[in-house]
Amino acid sequence: MPIYLDDQPVQLSGVDLASVLDSAADHLRASGRIVVEVTLDGEPLVDEQLESRRHDAVADGELRLYSANPRDLSRTTLEAVLGRLDAVAQRQREAADLISSDQQNEAMTALTQAIEGWQQSQQVVIQTASLTATDLSTLDIDGASAQEVIEQVITMLQVVRDTIEARDMIGLADTLAYEGPALIKQWQKLVTALIERIDESK
């Protein structure tokens, strides 16, 4: 099977996709880069697709791997999170306003989008911290650690869930209108602090 790494032919060992990726990791270790994209016979393999095909034989076809510096990749991803947080803030405001206008269905749609944005942002922060070996407990966010700020998000989402289950729409609107914006600012500071730490470690 022809194998390309960053569009250059490369000799890697392995009988299945998983072992070839391990060989690629060994090949890249000295440069500090990691494989970030896998394409098999022109088909990009991501997330569940990649996991489900890790034990596929690679005797035939064409495998293309692309690498990146984990710190550069993390910085780019975190910058995208800052933009996503602006969208989360907007959805929270919309949900609070729609609840106040007694438009419950529309409010739940906006709220669902806000929650998804929070969860995605949280996952990115945790993953990039792991990828760059950054200890979140060492980041100071207005006197709180990054981990404490993450816990604040988890707590707010639990409150949101509880108020929805209790059908306390006034309480839900208050949480979104008053607690949500402050937490967005804290989270933006957390992401910015993480970006700065990554830059300092280069």
In sequence order, the 6+-apart residues with CB closer than 8 A to the CB of 106 are 98
Please state the rounded mean pLDDT for residues 35-64. Answer: 85
13 backbone φψ class: left, alpha, beta (φ>0; ψ -120 to 50)? beta
pLDDT of residue 202: 62
Over residues 80-97, the pLDDT tens digits come to 999 999 999 999 999 999
CA pair distance 26, 90, nearest whole angstrom: 44
CA pair distance 182, 125, nearest whole angstrom: 18
CA pair distance 161, 181, nearest whole angstrom: 18
Per CATH, is 3-68 categorized as 3.10.20?
A: yes
Tokens of 3: 């194998």
Q: Longest C-alpha distance within the chain, in Å?
A: 63
CB of 89 closer than 8 Å to CB of 184: yes
Question: DSSP states of 131-175 as a string?
Answer: HTT--GGG-EETTEEHHHHHHHHHHHHHHHHHHHHTT-HHHHHHI
Over residues 121-173, the pLDDT tens digits come to 999 999 899 888 888 888 999 888 888 898 998 999 999 999 999 999 999 99
Domains of the chain, residue spans? 3-68, 71-200
Amino acid at the residue 169: M
Amino acid at the residue 103: Q
Exposed, middle or buried, 83 (CB in 10 Å: 0-12/13-18/19+)? exposed
Over residues 57-68, the pLDDT tens digits come to 777 778 999 999
**pLDDT over 90 at 32, yes or no:** no
For residue 57, the cross-strand partners are 16
